């Protein structure tokens, strides 16, 4: 009888191919061959140019930029792999689009983060690997396994190497306080929490700071930066409260609309983001620093493929 062997295939969508290449290099594999095109009417076409029958297929895609196109492309790639008899299909979603629509804040609203989870399941995704969801409970929207990674150890290494003194990690709102506390523990720093309200979409008002930030080097931690309205208001408030310097770290740099201009005019020292969402090379200078999550994702993919534990990747002591 022929021995059954496993076979890993790694593919990239078109939203973040640079990160997919880095992951492939870390894993010492080549990205699989796939044809992805968009018809004149906007429809997306995908065809694998090699057999994936019986393979464990991993698809790297960031649901960002042209969000709906990126999401649809991921769904079509998953469906194509399933119909080509892939053994398993794992979506490596470096940024989970629609994650902010994770609950009903007002009547007659959708819960779109749940809808996206349903779409992925119907398309044939067996497992999802993602990093720093807007809210952790989004994992519960899936009936299949979700490996939810975090970039906090990467940020801890980055700021630890800078040798900053009298550090205070600041949460931009109560919802981010738990993650900020973890980062503060990794750095041996103090913790402060800001009180923020949102009178409208992409509009933030910071009314107060819980904790002492006077004469401290503040590191403001969030899961994403979109239009940078929240960041601009937070930096202004921290400076008013006597912060000596303000650094920002966020996993996903969406940088929509006036984000770059707001950051350029703010009093922030540095904005440190991950490459989960591509940032134009010309923007990666001055205050904006990009650190890679490729080693973290490469290790997660290999552990999933080898059916090893992924929990070590959540360990603050885990060294990339």
The pLDDT tens digits of the residues spanning 155-170 come to 999 999 999 999 999 9
* Mean local confidence (pLDDT), 84-94: 98
Q: What is the dihedral of CA 275, 281, 282, 288, to 10 degrees?
A: 30
Mean pLDDT, to the nearest integer, of 131-160?
Answer: 95
Average pLDDT value for the chain: 92
Q: Which pLDDT belongs to residue 286?
A: 79
CATH numbers and ranges of domains, the chain: 8-150+295-311 (3.40.50.2020), 152-291 (3.40.50.2020)
pLDDT for 202? 53
- 149 forms beta bridges with 131
Predicted confidence at residue 6, as pLDDT, reads 79
pLDDT of residue 311: 77
pLDDT, average across residues 167-185: 94
Strand 203-210 versus strand 190-200 pairing type: antiparallel
Between 72-76, 193-197, 218-222, 251-255, the lowest mean confidence (pLDDT) is in 193-197
Q: Is the pLDDT of residue 284 over 80?
A: yes
Res. 319: pLDDT tops 50: no
Determine what percent of the chain falls in helix, strand and coil, rounding each to the nearest 5.
35, 30, 40
Instruction: Copy the structure tokens of residue 311.
Output: 């929990």
Phi first, then psi, for residue 291 (nearest 5°) are: -115, 150
8 A C-beta contact, residue 91 and residue 290? no
Catalytic residues: 196
What are 171's two structure tokens?
């949460």
Q: How confident is the model at residue 123 (pLDDT cuts 50, 70, 90)?
A: very high
pLDDT recorded at residue 205: 64
For the stretch 202-226, pLDDT in tens is 555 666 799 999 999 999 999 999 9
Token digits of residue 100: 């902010």
Q: What is the pLDDT of residue 3?
A: 58
Indicate the pLDDT class of residue 318, thresholds 50, 70 and 90: very low
pLDDT of residue 316 exceeding 50? no
pLDDT category at 184 given cuts 50, 70, 90 is: very high
Q: Is the pLDDT of residue 230 over 90?
A: no
Q: What is the pLDDT of residue 195?
A: 85
Phi, psi values for residue 143, rounded to 5°: -95, 0
Calculate what percentage of the chain has a pLDDT beyond 70: 92
Residue 314 CA neighbour count, 13 Å, CB half: 10
The string of pLDDT tens digits covering residues 286-304 is 799 999 999 999 999 999 9
Which tokens hold the place of 51?
A: 């057999």
| Distances in whole angstroms, Cα of residue 320 to Cα of each of 39, 113, 157, 267, 297 | 41, 30, 9, 31, 10
Range scoring the smallest mean pLDDT among 47-61, 187-201, 266-280 = 187-201
Q: Look up residue 302 and give its two tokens.
A: 């290999």
pLDDT of residue 199: 56
For residue 78, is pLDDT > 50? yes
């Amino acid at each position: 009888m022929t021995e059954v062997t496993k076979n890993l295939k790694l593919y990239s969508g078109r939203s973040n191919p640079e990160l997919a290449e880095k992951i492939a290099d870390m894993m010492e594999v080549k990205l699989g061959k796939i044809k992805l095109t968009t018809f004149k009417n906007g429809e997306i076409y995908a065809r694998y140019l090699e057999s994936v029958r019986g393979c464990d297929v991993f698809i790297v895609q960031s649901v960002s930029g042209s969000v709906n196109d990126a999401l649809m492309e991921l769904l079509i790639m998953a469906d194509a792999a399933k119909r080509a008899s892939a053994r398993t299909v794992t979506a490596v979603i470096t940024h989970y689009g629609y994650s902010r629509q994770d609950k009903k804040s007002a009547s007659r609203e959708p819960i779109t983060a749940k809808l996206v989870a349903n779409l992925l399941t119907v398309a044939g995704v067996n497992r999802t690997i993602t990093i720093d969801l807007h809210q952790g409970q989004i994992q519960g929207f899936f009936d299949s396994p979700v490996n939810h990674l975090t970039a906090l150890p990467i940020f801890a290494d980055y700021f630890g190497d800078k040798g900053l003194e009298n550090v205070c990690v600041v949460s931009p709102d109560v919802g981010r306080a738990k993650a900020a506390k973890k980062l503060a523990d990794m750095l041996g720093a103090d913790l402060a929490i800001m009180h923020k309200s949102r009178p409208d979409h992409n509009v933030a008002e910071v009314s107060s700071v819980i904790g002492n930030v006077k004469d401290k080097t503040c590191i403001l931690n969030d899961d994403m930066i979109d239009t940078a309205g929240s960041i601009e208001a937070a930096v202004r408030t921290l400076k008013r409260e006597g912060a000596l310097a303000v650094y920002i770290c966020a996993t996903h740099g969406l940088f929509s609309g006036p984000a770059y201009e707001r950051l350029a005019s703010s009093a922030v020292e540095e904005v440190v983001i991950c490459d989960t969402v591509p940032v134009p090379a010309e923007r990666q200078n001055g205050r904006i620093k990009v650190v890679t999550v490729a080693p973290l994702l490469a290790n997660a993919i290999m552990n999933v493929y080898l059916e090893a534990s992924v929990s070590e990747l959540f360990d603050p002591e885990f060294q990339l």
